[in-house]
Every structure is written in C-alpha cells, then in structure tokens.
Structure 1
Amino acid sequence: MSDTREDRQRDDTVHYDGAAGGWGSMRGIKEIARAAKPDPAFADTLRRQNKPGGHMCTSCAWTKPAQPHAFEFCENGAKATIWDLTTRRAGPDFFASHTLTELRARPDYELEIEGRLTHPMRYDATSDKYVPVSWDEAFAGIGERLRRLDPASAVFYASGRASLETSYLYALFARLYGHNNLPDSSNMCHETTSVGLKKVIGSPVGTCVLEDFEHCDMILFFGQNTGTNSPRFLHPLKDAVDRGCRVVTFNPVRETGLVEFADPQNPWQMTAGSPTEISEHYLQVRPGGDIGAIAGIIKRVLEREDERGDVLDRAFIAEHTHDFESFEAAMRAADWSLIERVSGLSRAALEQVGDIYVASRNVIGIYGMGLTQHVHGSQSIGMLVNLLLLRGNMGRKGAGISPVRGHSNVQGQRTVGISEKPELVPMETIARMFDFEPPMETGRTTVEVVEGVLDGSVKAFVSLGGNFARAIPDTDRAEESWTRLDVNVQIATKLNRSHLLACPNTWLLPCLVRAEEDVQATGPQAVTMEDSLSHVHGSRGRRTPAAETLKSEVAIVAGIAKATLAPNPKVRWDDWTGDYALIRDLIAETYPDEFHDFNARMFEAGGFYRGNPVRDLKWKTESGKAEFTTPDDALSALGHAPGEAEFTLITLRSNDQFNTTIYGFSDRLRGIEGKRDVVLMAPEEIEKAGLVAGQRVTLHTDHDDGLERSVGGLEVVPYDLPLHCIGAYYPEVNGLIPLDYHDELSKTPAYKGVAVRIEA
C-alpha cells in the first residue's frame, strides 16, 4: 500500500463507489424533501438561490459568482432550504403535550424534524413545559432579568447564519449593555484563522477571490472536505483541473469530493461521460501531522534551491518578509525521520509534492477545520503561509491562502463587530456615533464561556441561533450547569437540545428564516452576508413566513435591547427595525473603507469585494512584513505519536448534516447508511485490537485532568484511515473533547486531535 494511496478506497473497507455530485446528489435531496415535507414553493426558492436579487443560502459560505449557473445551489444548500421551508410545525400544542425532560430523551434529528417554531415561549418550571407568551411579555421579562445582572456575567452568542444587519445590532447591544462577551461559531472552527493568520500576514481572513482559481497552477488542500461542506466549490475546482491545474490533498480521510466529481449541470457527465478526477495526489496524513508534511515539502524546495539557485523568490522574501533566516535554518536542520513520523507520510511522497510546487508558478493553499482544530492549529496555518511565501505566492493573481468557512455569514459577523477582542473593533468610532463609553475588557471565548457556565460566573446566556450546548466540547460535563443559569434566551427556527436545558428564566423566541419575506414598517426588507472570499451579497426572501407570529432576527434583537437598556436619543431601535437600510448606513459609517455606499452596492452581481491589504502586498503585522514562523522546537513538540493502545480521534460531519443539524442518516459519500453511532477504524487496527466489524465499543479520552470521559455503544466500521487514527461523528462524541484541550493561540477546541482508548 503506497504512501500516496492513489488507489480507490480500499475494497476491505466501507466506501462509496460513485463520484461527488451526479445522480447521488439528486437522490439525496429527494430523500430529505420526503422527510421534511417542504412547501411546494421551495422549488422556486432554489431557482433564485445564490443569484443576484435572490435569497442567499443559509448553508456554506462559498462565494456566489457574478454569472451564476442555471442552478446555483448544491446538495447541502438544497437540504438547508428544504429544512427551513418544511410544512411541519412545533407550536404551542406540541409543547403542551411534552415536558422538557421527555424531549431531552430524543435524539437531535427527532427534535428538529418536528418542524418550525411558531410562537414565543417561556419555560414554566412547575410543569416542566414551555408555555406561550406575547412578544411584549417576552421582551419585558428578558429585559427585567438582564437589568438585574452585572453585564460581565452575560454572554451574547451568535451562530454563523445571522445577517450583517442583525450582527451589527447584536454587537452594539452587547456593548451598550456593558460587555464584550461575544463569541460566535468561529470560536469552534476558524478562530484559529482569525488569530493565527492575522499574526503572520496581518489579515484575519483569506486572500483569494474567485478569479484566482482561473489562474492557479497548483492547489494544496489541507483538512477540507469540499464535497460535503462547500460542494459549489467543486465547479471552479473542476474547471481548474480541466485546464491543467494540479491538485494535491492532505487529509486523513479520503473524501469523495476531492477524489472525483460529476457535475450535475453537465448533461454529458451525468449520462455518458466520466467524472472529473480532482486530486492528482491524495496523501492521508496523520491527524495533526500537517506541520510535518509541510516541513517535508519545504525541505524539498530548499534542496531544489540548492541545486538550481532560482527556486526561492529572493526578491519577494527580502522586501516583504521577516525572519526568513532563522526559519530556513530550522527547516534545514529538521530530521527526515522525524518528519515521516510526525506526518505519517514517506519522504518520497513529500518530495514529489515539493517538485510539483517548484514547477508551479501560482499556488493556492486551501484549508479547513482539519488544519485548525488542533492544539497547534495556529502553527499549522503559519507553516502553510511559510510554504507560500517561499515562492512569493501572496499578493498576485492566481495565488494566496484560502480558508474555506462553513457557516454562511460567520466571517461577516466578525467583520461588523461580533468579537470578544475589543482591539478588533473601532471602539472610538462606535463611542462617537452612539455617545457612550464602550467596555474595553476582553470578552469570553467559547471555551471561557463554558468555563463560566461550569463555575457559575456566567449568569445569562443569549443565543442568536445555533445549538451551542450541543456544539461545545465536554458536552456531558457541562449539560447540568446550563440549568443553573439565571437567564437563558434562545432565538431559533427549530427545536434543538440547547433549548431543553432550561433554567427558571428561559425564553424560546422563533424567528424568520432567510428565504421568508421580511416585512417591516417601510415594507419588505433585504439583508446581507459576507462569503469566505470577502464578498458581500444582498439577500431577499420571498416565501410566506411559517407563522404570522414570527419576527425577524433584527426585530427580536432590537426588542430585547429596547426593553433592557436606558433610552439613548442616538440609539433608534424602532427606526432600525423599520428600515434595515438605516442599519447598513451605520455599518458604512463604522467601517467606511470596506462598506462605503453599502446600500447602493449590496446587490452587485457576484457581491462587492471589501478588499484585503495583502493583495496589495501590505502587511498589518508587528514587523510590517509577512512573518516566517518556526514551529516549537523545530517539530519535536508537535510530533506526539499515539501509544500502542491509543488512537487520535477525528470528529466528522456526515453528508446529511450541517454543523449540529442532522437532516438524515445517509453519509452517502462515505458509504455509511442509516446510522451515526459508529467508530471508523482501519481494518489492521480492528484486528490488532481484537475487535470485529459490527462490534459495539466504548471510547475513553486519554487526558490527565482526572475526569472520566466516555461514549459507548459505538459500532466498529472498517474504514480507510491512517494507523492510530479513528473517526466518529460530531456532535455525538463531543463529550470526549476536553474543554482545556485547544489551540494555544485562539482557544479553538481540538476536535480533531484528542487521544482516546477503545474498550470492547
């Protein structure tokens, strides 16, 4: 078995024989539609999805082209829309029939399939049920409870789907109230990018735009599952491969979307043609071994420089980078045997990738959570930047670094102020605009929020969407603590487990989905979001709301804020709710360089680009240049190798899933059907552990904090994975992830790097 594993997925493992896309995607969409029973008008919504003047998908953050395809949606985007537009309802009658204790016994899927929430509800501890209240009663009750608390004890969490308009008001509300406790879903996935990438190139976001994929010669993928998490990206990726771009993938799991793709919008490929082979080389790196793999590529680049003398871009390095000499010395000194042990890959395989890199003029580095969700995630990002800097692959067409975000507006929320770090927000501007003194204390990250829930220092939790209690690490340990909060406010579209962990003062507030028409005092409203390539798009919903009692996220945030805060003549919650264009004016005033003429530009085809200084070779770092960084102890500290009876756990999302939302039980692209209670293992590891396929096992965390963490009842499934690596589904195994095991710089939990043991 070769190190590059160019063969198809192993015949002795569970696998999918087809390509990503194709007829399999069509069947997947059909199955979810059968279960969710959407409004028949969903087809018209899909026709407009991700097109200028239409509705922007609530699923992934991949960019929207200026000249869209006839169908500019993917399988998961269609599932998200179908899920939103279900005809099922979870209204007052449903809650009158079920206690929260009873509902907590249900799995995630059974909660959400009940349908759309329709009425504002308040928890009644006596009956252990949610009971309906009016919106005015809900706002007044929440405001009264929040006013009693020290603002520092409150947390305002935001999931990644809230619009720029809502996000801006939410952040303003938090600071007017008196805190910066504004974690969002990026704290659990790409906060490593926001912190780590900013440190080395001065930008907290990627540097590429869609046009770059038309001019690149090589694409390097690290820990990103395009086929499931951002399938529309497969179109430009296929086009790049068709014109000769060479794709190399590093991932412990052979993800079908980066193996081959059949374009559903290509009649020839859907009938008589063959799918497009995507990755020229697919290297199954050890979890967390990316630093070692990149070090091996870099050593090969330096060897070729020694042979030829023209490989490194010496002029670029001299003018635009800092600390190259110490980095070069460390890489030259790095031992190949250590690199092979850390990465799990052979020297020959890494040298082959290095040769491709040297032969390629324009290179793009792409990564996902497989790179970021490790203790040394920030350093992994730094190493990928190091590789790109060697040949000047920054600040020119067809080159750069491109983290692929998951949630549809998670990047944009940070852009307009959802941040626990006050230094990232123009506080002086906000203070002037709204005539107040904003708090300057650093707020809590997700990890620190959970610590505060556990120790009692967090008293109030307001959640703008999401399923926070299910998404976090140490879920089992933290669950009981949620019921000891003083205030818990959940703004949502469907029921999930976070809503069932109620304290005495808990409210469940239903909101519109993005595809629904949002009518306010001045008429129908539009909202905006930012994609992962830093383009901003307008979105207009057209579907009739699921219930007349629903409010928009903007209206809910403004309603709570107005009921909580003292009047301020410069803070006009009612006016902003009535006309979202006024909110966009505020964003433009707060961020004039990026959002000037916001209202005039919001429906530009392909979105308007808010810019990135790195594209102009401007580096907002401490040195004023791009930083070469050397990993701790020149690799040795990063080379933890599991013991004989120990495995590195990587958490996975299925093909019928978006974050914590479970649409169904088909992980088609991995060949797993009808179940999620599984643990994936290489056949050799199954045999070595004395197990057999289909056997039920328990996973135990190996972590020296004295706490027992285990998840049982998992079925052993033979799967093509590196040795000492096992996979299981997120969020079912989140209880195995220690809260204190996270990236050192950003505190992003290490969901893909925890050591576990298996008990039969």
Structure 2
Amino acid sequence: MSERTELPSAENPEGLLDLKVTEPYKWAAGMTAVGAAMADIFEETGGPRGVGALFKMNQKQGFDCSSCAWPDPDDDRSPVAEYCENGAKALAEEATLKKIGGEFFAKNSVADLAHQTDMEIGKHGRIAEPMYLPKGGTYYQPISWDGAFTKIAEHLNGLDSPNEAAFYTSGRTSNEASFLYQLFVREYGTNNMPDCSNLCHESTSVALAEAIGMGKGTVTLNDFYETDVIIIMGQNPGTNHPRMLTALEKAKKSGSKIIAINPLKEAGLIAFKNPQTTKGVLGMSTKLADLYLQVKINGDMALLKAIEKLLYDYEKETLLEIFDSTFIENKTVFYDQFIEDLEKYDVNELAEAAGVPLGQIQEAADMLKHKSRIIVCWAMGITQHKNGVAQIKEIVNLVLLKGALGKPGAGLCPVRGHSNVQGNRTMMIYDKPYEKQLDKLKEVFGFEPPREHGYDAVDTIKAMHQRKVKVFFAMGGNFLSATSDTMYTAEAMRKLKLSVHVSTKLNRSHLVHGEEALILPTLARSDKDVINGEMQIVSCENSMGVVQQSKGVLQPVSDHLMSESLIVCNLAKKVLADRTVVNWDLYASHYDHVRDVIEKVIPGFEEYNKKVRIPGGFYLPNAPRHGDFETDETPGKVQFTVSKLPEHPMAADEYMMTSIRSHDQFNTTIYGLEDRYRGIHNERRVIFMNHKDIEKAGFKTGDKVDLYNNYGGIERSARLFVIVAYDIPERCTATYYPETNVLVPIDSVAEKSNTPTTKLIMIKLRPHQA
C-alpha cells in the first residue's frame, strides 16, 4: 500500500502513449461504429446484460439514454438500434458489472487514484456503497446512508447562512429528482443552484429569452423533414449527437440543403454511412453538407453578417423580395436600426474577418435567397465565446429576415448536450428564478422561498475560493473537470468544509475535495428503481421540448444504491427535520406523487401522470414555435439586435485555441483513446495546427510542446502536447477538453451568460522541457 503525501492531482498526469496518426475520415458511423459500440458493451457487461438493455434504450416503453439530448422520433422507432455508438458506450459505462466499494478504497489512496488519467479513474466500475473521507484522511471508507445524511445535515445546519452552501446539478438528473432537489434547496433557504447549463448553453438561454421570449429552441424533429435549408454551426453531430445524422439523411432525401459552418472539417458533417440501411452496411454513404464553410475560430458573427449583407444588397439591386417584409412588419421590432448598422459593413472585410472566401459566402447566400423554410442548429462552438449571447442573437437576426420562425420546417435549434439538461431548467434548477415561479412554490407549499439570486457555476467557484461557500453538493457530474481554470477551481474545492457528490462512477471531482468528503452512489438511468415492490418511472425532456417516461430494465449491481429522488427526500428530512412543511415521505413513496405536485407548480404539465405514460410522451407548450412571442420589452414582437464584431488582437507568436471532444468521449467521460474520425489513436495530449503555422514557428509535426498564456499577469500552462498537422484555419488550434481547461481563466466568460469561454483562448507554444 503506497502513501503519497502531495495534494491529489487536479489534472490528467503528464505522459504520452504511443500516438498513431492516420488520415481523417470523410464519413461518420457505418459498421465501424457498430463494432466499436459492441466491443464496449461486451467488455463491460459480458454481453447479454448490455445487449438486452440496448433493445430497450430510447424505446417508448424503455429507458432514456443518459448521453445526449437529441430527440427520439415521434412515430415508429427502430426496433433494432434506436441509439448511436456513443449512446451504447454510455450504457456500457453504467451497465458494467465492475463495482468498487470499501475494499477497493482501502487499497487505493485518494492521491494514488488522482495520479491516474480521467479514463483510468472512470474504468474502475460502479460505486457500490456510500463512501466517506474524514478530515485529514487519505482513504475513503464506507459509511451508512443514515450516517452520510447525518454528516451533511450537521454541516448544512451549522452554517451561518444557507447561502454558504451551493447545490450543483448535472444534466442526467430526471425531472422528478430535479424538482425535489430545487424544492429542498429553496426550503433550506438559498438559490445557489449552479448547473451544467451554466457551462454550456447558458448563452442560448439568455439570448433566446431576450430575443423571442423563451430560452429554448422552436423546432421539432419533423421540421427537419419539411425544411429547405439546414445550417449547422459550431457543432459536431457525428461525435456529440450521432443520431442527428439519421435526421439529416432523411432531410436530404426530402430535398433539403445543408450548410456546415465549423473551423475543423468534421466527418459527421461531410457524409453518413447509415448502418441500419443496406447501403450503409455495404459501405456507401450519403453526402450531408452541400457547402462547408471553414470559419476562423469565432468568425461566425462576421460570416452571418456577410450573408445578411449579400442578401440585403441583392434585394436592393433586383427589387425582388428576399427578406420577408410581412413577417418583419407584423412580428418584429428594431428592423430599421438593424439595417442601418448592416449598411456600414463591407462584405470583403467581413469575409476576411470570417476567414471564408467571399465566393463561398456568396454560395451560402444564394442557397438562402429564395428560401424561407430554414433551420439553424448550433452548439458549444457558438455559445462558449465572450460574445456567445450576441452570436445567437445574430442567428436570430438571419432567421427573422427570412421569416423562418413560427412555421413548419423553420426555426431555431440549439442542440443540447446532456440528456435532461433542458428538463433540469424546466424543473426550476436555476440560480436566477423568476418571481412567478417562486410565488407558485409559496402558494403550493406554504413556505417563503428565497428571492435573492444565487451563484451560477463560475460564481460558485469564486465564492468557494473566498470561503463564502463552505459546503458543495453535486447531484451528478464531474464539476472539477467540467469547469474552467482547473488549478483555481481545485484550490476552491480544497477550501470547502464538506464536498458531496451523488455519482454512479468515480471521477476526478471525488479526488480533489473539501476537508471532509462524501460519495453517494445512485441508480443509473438503465437501473430498475423499485419502491415498495413497485417499479417506478421517471421522465426527461429532450432538446425539442418532448417529455417522455424512462423506466430502467437492469438489476442494480449493488443493493446499496439509492435513486436521486430518494436521496433528496431522505436528505431533506434529515436537514430540515421539524421545520419542513413538505411531505417528503409522500414523495419518497411513489414518483406519481411528485408528478402530481409538479403539475400544480409548473405550466404545461397538466395531467402529467396520464400524459407521461402515453407512448412517446408529450410536447410542452412552445409559443414561438407557433409564431407567438412574449418578450418582456416588446410583447408580441421578436427583436432584431445590433451587435459589434468581436476583435481578436494577437501577438505574432499567439494562436487562438478551441477545445473539442474526441469521438471516444462524452462531456468529461472518456470512453477510450480512439478519435478515429480525426485520425488520432491512443493519445489525447495533442494540439491540432495548420501546417503553415507549424513551419512558421519552426516546429514540425510530432514535436512536443507546452501551451501557455498570461491572462491577468498569471501564467497558466498545459504541459506536454504533441503537434499534429490538421486542416484548420491559420492561427487557429484545437485541443481536447478537459485537458486544456487549465488554460481558461476563471474570469474569461461570456457577456451576460457568464459561461466559460472554452471555445476561444489565446495561447502560446514553447518546446517541452522534461
């Protein structure tokens, strides 16, 4: 048994494997994806357990995939494979037969575990019993559930103010657990509810709420089959939302055109080999992108303005109606101000700022000229920038000009990441709740909820660092690895009195902890959840506002696991004791009771228990989808917005860096080391660079370098990366997340949304010194 005396590592350890680089793919999925998925399933589950569960995943009477939030078809679903490669890998992770408990932790100190990579940490198996790390301890040890709840209650009730605690939520948490969680936190007395949306699509929520009156998208899956043009921006569906490829293929067969906008050429935007078709099995692919615009990092705003300017100039020259004047007149405001600003721009300068040849931008404008059924999709490549909110409002501008909102085959499509991140927010997991929501809680439950806005994710980290937050409770997720400024965040975590994580598997956040720490093992989405002899169902909301049931099918690997909903109920009873006015025993006895009260509090959930049992679920109300807009400043009207182009001054030796996910990864969970679509095998510590930049800097492919910057006079560095020449615009680089999160300063955030700017950080390179 080894003993390490240093602090547990907050980062993946330095060290390289046997990197192999091959040609990037020009297509995604195919039988290769099937083979990769099945390999993980058999390795982790032994075969029958995992394969049997696959047939129930994303089925109408099955369980919801715990991976991405792409919607399931409303009509018939594939009886063979209504899932993707990464969905199968996510299932393999939670359906694994490997498990760890007291014996494992007695042999492995926290410091020893922290010297493993994130992938190695996650591969140990499911956490089988509650674990406790005492003050000054170096090994986790078993603790009873009652002992764990008592420990948390002692800390929470010993704080000077409820605002000295923060309660994080990941996107895996069901609607029922999320509602109970926020109910407990607000009865406890705080709105400190950071969530994973703060780190990803918060810019979307802010921008759309201000522009169209709702912080969600406006399209349904069926709209993809009725549209004329689909624009995909800052998104890599082949890796992050693979089931989207099936929808894109179906759209192409219906005659739609696709414009892809991304700094890297991604296989999933180029072509798709559908393994559920004879053509795909035989290795034939469907071309997806009709036009691929390879923008500079954060060149999207300039590109959108260039398209808008070309359309405007064409309308003036030809006197043809290119913009939808009726829609603009009846449904929008601030059009004149928008046009006045647009006229100031020169398309050649905009093209240069975007990094895209003007001829290609003209092609995009030509594809849009006479079309009004247009869908724009986007993800982290748009939101995680300083001007993320403004960029989304510019997307709205383009849609408004074409009248592509509030009708079939048209609209706005933010593609969410984790499977229920949108449902969390619907269930009031939010640090800035609306007054009408709090009023409803008071009306239904009879207690006065806190009105003061709480901390979001970034503010929580700062508050922990300043010792203003002393207890941190995480409902799922890997907070440390998901956030920016890794070393700063680690320092903040270590200043806590208590850190608690509700988890299925071990991750780095369990190893960088407060003075005391708890790991509470919970059921996974695929696990059976039985209460009083009756199988329970939960529900989730996908990216397009469909709420449907999810019912686990697997026998849990341990009898000591507890559902998230029961964890909340038991914790609330222990913490609030006699001062609670909520009947936690009722909600713990059956989840139907939770849904009964949700429908009393949250609009759109009338007859929740009845509708959630309808195969395929039900759509939540979405006024903008039908052309009704309820913006606060301009009721009934959508707003055009005037935004400035971002400026990115760079020294001669500086580069723009964006973070990306490998194909063998979902969020912070690393499934393996095969990013085969980009031709990277058996390594993650790589930096993708344009070959001209490599030569100008005096480097060559394969060189080992350190990455660093000096934001705010503080040097941040990520050591030991291998240079890989890649098709990426000059002065742009890309690295895998979360290995380079350490380079993202805690104060580098998007305006208004406070989202970390993980998609654009300035860096420099220097030869690696061992």
TM over 0.5: yes
Distance in 2 separating the partners of 1:713 and 1:462: 33
Pick aligned residue for 2:73 from 58, 61, 65: 65
Distance in 1 separating the partners of 2:430 and 2:136: 37
For 2:717, give the aligned amino acid: S
Q: Structure 1 residue 112 and structure 2 residue 122: aligned?
A: yes
Q: Structure 1 residue 707 and structure 2 residue 717: aligned?
A: no
Distance in 2 separating the partners of 1:481 and 1:220: 40
Distance in 1 separating the partners of 2:759 and 2:385: 6
Q: CA deviation at 1:568?
A: 5.3
Aligned residue in 2 for 1:291: 301
For 2:731, give the aligned amino acid: H
Q: Structure 1 residue 650 and structure 2 residue 658: aligned?
A: yes
For 2:641, give the aligned amino acid: T
Distance in 2 separating the partners of 1:69 and 1:191: 33
CA contact (8 A) 2:494 2:514 kept: yes
CA contact (8 A) 2:41 2:50 kept: no
* 1:584-663 equivalent positions in 2, closer than 5 A: 584-591=595-602, 593-621=603-631, 622-624=633-635, 625-632=637-644, 635=645, 638-663=646-671
Aligned residue in 1 for 2:17: none
For 2:685, give the aligned amino acid: D
Q: 1:430 to 1:110 in 2, by over 3 A?
A: same
SS at match of 1:426: helix
Pick aligned residue for 2:699 from 673, 677, 691: 691
Q: 1:464 to 1:38 in 2, by over 3 A?
A: farther
* 1:102-181 equivalent positions in 2, closer than 5 A: 102-149=112-159, 150-181=161-192
For 2:639, give the aligned amino acid: E
CA contact (8 A) 1:419 1:425 kept: no
Aligned residue in 2 for 1:723: 730
CA deviation digits over 1:527-578, x for unaligned, max 9? 0000000000100001100101111111111111111114357411122111
For 1:505, give the aligned amino acid: E
SS at match of 1:249: strand
> Which range moves more in the overlay, 493-502 or 336-345?
336-345
CA contact (8 A) 1:64 1:607 kept: no
Distance in 2 separating the partners of 1:608 and 1:38: 36
Distance in 2 separating the partners of 1:197 and 1:38: 45
* 1:136-535 equivalent positions in 2, closer than 5 A: 136-149=146-159, 150-271=161-282, 274-306=284-316, 307-423=318-434, 426-521=437-532, 523-535=534-546
For 2:556, give the aligned amino acid: P
For 1:755, give the aligned amino acid: M
Distance in 2 separating the partners of 1:550 and 1:49: 21
CA contact (8 A) 2:168 2:475 kept: yes
Distance in 2 separating the partners of 1:361 and 1:545: 50
SS at match of 2:398: helix
Q: CA deviation at 1:243?
A: 2.1
CA contact (8 A) 2:540 2:549 kept: yes
Distance in 2 separating the partners of 1:417 and 1:666: 38
Q: CA deviation at 1:308?
A: 3.0
CA contact (8 A) 2:279 2:285 kept: no
Q: 1:729 to 1:425 in 2, by over 3 A?
A: farther
Count of aligned positions: 742
For 1:648, give the aligned amino acid: M
SS at match of 2:434: helix
For 1:740, give the aligned amino acid: D
CA contact (8 A) 1:156 1:174 kept: yes
Q: CA deviation at 1:375?
A: 0.2
Q: 1:43 to 1:31 in 2, by over 3 A?
A: closer
CA contact (8 A) 1:287 1:650 kept: yes
CA contact (8 A) 1:39 1:86 kept: no
Q: CA deviation at 1:641?
A: 4.5
Aligned residue in 1 for 2:7: none
Q: 1:429 to 1:201 in 2, by over 3 A?
A: same
Pick aligned residue for 1:88 from 98, 104, 107: 98
Distance in 1 separating the partners of 2:364 and 2:22: 28
Distance in 2 separating the partners of 1:441 and 1:14: 54
Aligned residue in 1 for 2:13: none
CA contact (8 A) 1:214 1:398 kept: yes
CA contact (8 A) 2:187 2:580 kept: no
Distance in 1 separating the partners of 2:211 and 2:539: 29
Q: CA deviation at 1:36?
A: 2.8
Q: CA RMSD in A?
A: 1.5
Q: CA deviation at 1:22?
A: 0.4
SS at match of 1:649: strand
> Which range moves more in the overlay, 163-172 or 446-455?
446-455
SS at match of 2:183: helix
SS at match of 1:567: helix
Q: 1:239 to 1:166 in 2, by over 3 A?
A: same
Unmatched tracts of structure 1, length 5 or more = 1-12
CA deviation digits over 1:416-448, x for unaligned, max 9? 110001227611110111111100111111110
Distance in 2 separating the partners of 1:129 and 1:231: 40
SS at match of 1:565: helix
Distance in 2 separating the partners of 1:303 and 1:364: 23
Distance in 1 separating the partners of 2:694 and 2:40: 33
Distance in 2 separating the partners of 1:38 and 1:57: 20
Q: Structure 1 residue 50 and structure 2 residue 62: aligned?
A: no
SS at match of 2:48: coil
Q: CA deviation at 1:751?
A: 0.4
> Which range moves more in the overlay, 517-526 or 650-659?
517-526
TM-score normalised to structure 2 length: 0.95
CA deviation digits over 1:645-681, x for unaligned, max 9? 1111110101110100001000111111100011111
CA deviation digits over 1:147-204, x for unaligned, max 9? 0111111100000000000000010111001111111111110001111111111110
Distance in 1 separating the partners of 2:670 and 2:44: 12
SS at match of 1:606: coil
For 2:78, give the aligned amino acid: H
Distance in 2 separating the partners of 1:431 and 1:38: 50
CA contact (8 A) 2:474 2:500 kept: yes
CA contact (8 A) 1:144 1:563 kept: no
TM-score normalised to structure 1 length: 0.96
CA contact (8 A) 1:517 1:524 kept: yes
SS at match of 1:237: helix
Aligned residue in 2 for 1:97: 107
Aligned residue in 2 for 1:749: 756
CA contact (8 A) 2:264 2:728 kept: yes
Q: CA deviation at 1:349?
A: 1.4
Q: CA deviation at 1:30?
A: 3.2
Distance in 1 separating the partners of 2:148 and 2:57: 33
Pick aligned residue for 1:737 from 722, 744, 750: 744
For 1:188, give the aligned amino acid: L
- Which of structure 1's runs of 4+ aligned residues deviate more than 4 A? none
CA contact (8 A) 2:664 2:674 kept: yes
CA contact (8 A) 1:342 1:641 kept: no
Distance in 2 separating the partners of 1:541 and 1:269: 31
Distance in 1 separating the partners of 2:322 and 2:533: 60
SS at match of 1:83: helix
Identity %: 38
For 1:629, give the aligned amino acid: T
Q: CA deviation at 1:77?
A: 0.4
> Which range moves more in the overlay, 205-214 or 23-32?
23-32
CA contact (8 A) 2:371 2:402 kept: no
